[in-house]
Structure 1
Amino acid sequence: MKTAGLAAALLATGLLAGCSTPGASDAEPRQLRVATFNASLNRPAEGQLATELHGENAQARAVADVIDHNSPDVLLINEFDYSPEALDLFRENYLGGAYPYSFTAPVNTGVDSGLDLDSDGATGGPDDAFGFGQFPGQYGMVVLSKFPIDTSGVRTFQNFLWKDMPDSLLPRDYYGANSDALRLSSKSHWDVPVDIDGKTVHILASHPTPPSFDGPEDRNGKRNHDEIRLTADYIDGAGYLYDDNGVRGGLTQNASFVVLGDQNSDPVDGDSVAGSIQQLLDNPRIQDPAPTSGADGNTDTADFSDPTPGDLRVDYALPSADLTVTGSEVFWPTDASHPSDHRMVWVDLKL
């Protein structure tokens, strides 16, 4: 669970364009599988993931096996350290070029704020970063796709300030004079448009902070709530939002989308601020497929049983209400071994 300009940040490739899925005819609806997977491919040191992916890494191979088994057409991976080199190595050496298109960009984890956010009398270190991390880009995100990504239409919200969200839960009493400098997103929020046979589906990717590892001020719980709210407000077209290029506003009302990511919020259990994930689940523009899980047939997506809080539903693939859902599942293998404490969640759509 656990800044560079956008132009320099974009990584979108089409080197194997001939491998993309052929277009569907007018008489055949497109069947599309969209998935999210917190793969725990984070490492304690910058550059370590890329170094490991140059060779054969058992965890990365197990992650690739999960991806290959479920074969999503579009996939968000959470907790993949930001590294274009590591991403290319994983795509080619572990996924065999199955995903000719990809996107990644910098995130706030490990980016030094220059402020003493934890009030320990010193600056620097993971607790004083804009998002908790040992180095810039730890716990990053990547989008993989078998269909073209419209890089010119990508919007990122890495630099959006928490203070600029109206009626936010920002704990000013805790952060004091530093409050106005805080970025809301602990990693980033992305809108990645994917072209599916001429139809655009927006991948709304995020990974809010866990609502724990704090004190009675509940700073992480409140941040988690407002990070989820950012996605909900973006879907509702909120005019207060501005992206990293300074463009204001949210998603257009007729846009199709899928919300993906480890939201670190269970509807019932865990440490979330009450109503956090309901901001998405109860949004009339969103449908919740309530995927079945191999873990006792419920909707849990992660195993945090060592020692607590147990199994939770924290990973979501939530399509817009205009899309037709034909299936949804949490991939929870019976084999006790698994490369991550999270499971892949996918939703099948008919376009």
Structure 2
Amino acid sequence: MRGLAALLICLGLTSPLCADPIRVASFNTELSRRGPGLLLRDLTRKGDAQIDAVIAVIAGAHPDILALQGIDWDLEGRTLTALASRLEQAGLAYPHRLALRPNSGLDSALDLDGDGRQGGPGDAQGWGRFTGQGGIAVLSRFPILTQEVRDFTPLLWRDLPGAELPTHPDGAPFPSEAAQAAQRLSSTAHWAVPIALPDGPRLTLLTFQATPPVFDGPEDRNGRRNADEIRLWQLYLDNALGPAPEGHIVIAGGANLDPERGAGRHQAIRDLLADPRLQDPLPGQPTAAFDGPGPLRVDYLLPSSDWRIEGVGLSAPAPEASRHRLIWLDLVPDQL
């Protein structure tokens, strides 16, 4: 049990009120490096101040299930294994881990960003200098049902129902018809990850990291893509992308969009936050601080309405670790 309040609730009572809360957390670590293998190198060395600070932030929250952003991917999973080893040294054991190949840095052999050149970071399926830069990962104390994971990362943007694709002033596809025929929606990844919880229920973690809605031109390519990356989750829950997940869900990750402030198509995140199937445990709370726009709410943990929320919090600002703060929730299913 975490906390006196849960203990007092449970005195003299039986399940489900006495079920141990599950602590779910999401954290954009910003650990990504500028070249392949560099993060793995730094994780296996001692004395990297940023890595030490990130480990301390995660250890302070001590989550059961952790969605990470900003961690470089490699084919053999060595980087995530090294991070898990560092966390175990800090007292956190995560025997169940998931890191699928993201779109970031994945070569397209096309000019996807419309700058007239090919082969740059903006021409990858998601911005990146190398395959897997700034990917996402899931670490869990509980079994991940890997055979049932839904990976929406290969989904073409134009195949998303109602896709808001960018155009030139004359209405032609931006930057080209060939580019839009190959362009995937996810700038990093979108995964639906079923996790088997103790005592029977399952949690489906819907995790992602959307593109920043900036660094483009009047066609608003990144702004449109960001909005559609957020909208994907509501379409999934509507059964528009195959069968929706059954039971308890948590959306966890980076939308890169504040409901009110900064750049972007704010209605996309407002619509997600207002969805009656979800709960918003941290309304109006900034989760990151950036030069220029200042504090913004860009990171989200949104449980479905069939959870009872017993605790919620943010890590203290730790700029030596990341501009982002770790978010955590203590959750109990309303019905076990």
Give the TM-score category using the shorter length: 0.7 to 0.9
Whether 1:213 aligns to 2:220 is no
**1:314 correspondence with 2:316:** no
The 8 Å contact of residues 172 and 179 in structure 1, kept in 2 or not, is answered as no
Letter in 2 for 1:216: P
- Give the AA of the match of 1:302: A
Gap change, CA 1:119 and 1:316, over 3 Å in 2: closer
Partner Cα distance (1:266, 1:148) in 2: 33
CA separation in 1, counterparts of 2:327 and 2:320?
A: 14
Where 1:276 maps in the other structure, the secondary structure is helix
Q: 1:92 to 1:209 in 2, by over 3 A?
A: same
Deviates more, 1:95-104 or 1:276-285: 95-104
Residue 270 (structure 1) aligned with residue 262 (structure 2)? yes
* 3-state SS, counterpart of residue 152 of structure 1: helix
Counterpart of 1:150 in structure 2: which amino acid?
L
* Number of the residue aligned with 1:301: 287
The offset of 1:175, in angstroms, is 2.0
How many Å apart are 1:172 and its aligned residue?
Answer: 3.5
Whether the 8 Å contact between 1:259 and 1:316 is mirrored in structure 2 is yes
- 1:220 alignment partner, SS class: helix
**How far does the alpha carbon of each residue in 1:258-286 deviate from its partner, in whole angstroms, 9 at most, with x for none?**
00001101010011113021231011111
Partner of 1:244: none
Aligned equivalent of 2:235: 233
5+ residue gaps in structure 2? 1-13, 169-173
- Matched letter for residue 87 of structure 1: L
For 1:46, give the aligned amino acid: P
Taking the aligned partners of 1:214 and 1:183, their CA distance within structure 2 comes to: 17
Q: Deviations over 1:32-86 (max 9, x none)?
A: 1111000001000011111111111221111111111111110101000013101
Q: Please give the TM-score of this superposition, normalised by the length of structure 2.
A: 0.88
Whether 2:113 is the aligned partner of 1:118: answer: yes
The answer to whether structure 1 residue 70 and structure 2 residue 65 are counterparts is no
The Cα RMSD (Å) is 1.6
2:175 corresponding residue in structure 1: 175
The alignment partner of 1:160 has SS state of coil
Rounded Cα–Cα distance in structure 1 between residues aligned with 2:161 and 2:79: 38
Contact kept? 2:213, 2:256, Cα under 8 Å: yes
CA contact (8 A) 1:33 1:74 kept: yes
* TM-score, normalised with respect to structure 1: 0.84
**Matched length:** 307
Say which of 55, 62, 69 aligns to 2:45. Answer: 55
* 1:87 aligns to 2:87 (yes or no): no
Cα distance in 1, alignment partners of residues 96 and 162 from structure 2: 38
Which residue does the alignment assign to 1:15?
A: none
State the 1:135 CA deviation: 0.3
CA contact (8 A) 1:299 1:330 kept: no
In structure 2, what is the equivalent of residue 222 of structure 1?
A: 224
Q: Matches of 1:54 and 1:314 in 2, distance apart? A: 30
How big is each residue's C-alpha offset from its partner over 1:176-229, in whole Å with a ceiling of 9 and x where there is no partner? 212121100001100111111121100000001000011111110000000001
- Residue 202 of structure 1 is matched in structure 2 by 204
Q: 1:255 to 1:68 in 2, by over 3 A?
A: same
Give the letter aligned to residue 93 of structure 1.
R
C-alpha distance in 1, partners of 2:70/2:107? 19
Letter in 1 for 2:86: N
Pairwise CA distance, 1:256: 0.9
Aligned equivalents of 1:135 and 1:208: distance in 2? 18
Alignment match of 1:164 (pick from 149, 159, 179): 159
Could you say which residue in structure 1 is the equivalent of 2:132?
A: 137
Correspondence for 2:312 among 328, 331, 342:
328
| SS of equivalent to 1:41 | coil
**CA shift for structure 1 position 26:** 4.6
Query: The residue matched to 1:204 in structure 2 has which SS?
Result: strand
SS for the counterpart of 1:225 is helix
C-alpha contact 1:151 1:193 (8 A) present in aligned 2? yes
1:200/1:209 CA distance change after superposition, 3 Å:
same
List alignment gaps of at least 5 residues for structure 1: 1-24, 242-248, 292-297
Aligned partner letter, 1:332: A
* C-alpha contact 2:49 2:320 (8 A) present in aligned 1: no
Alignment partner of 1:32 is 2:22:
yes
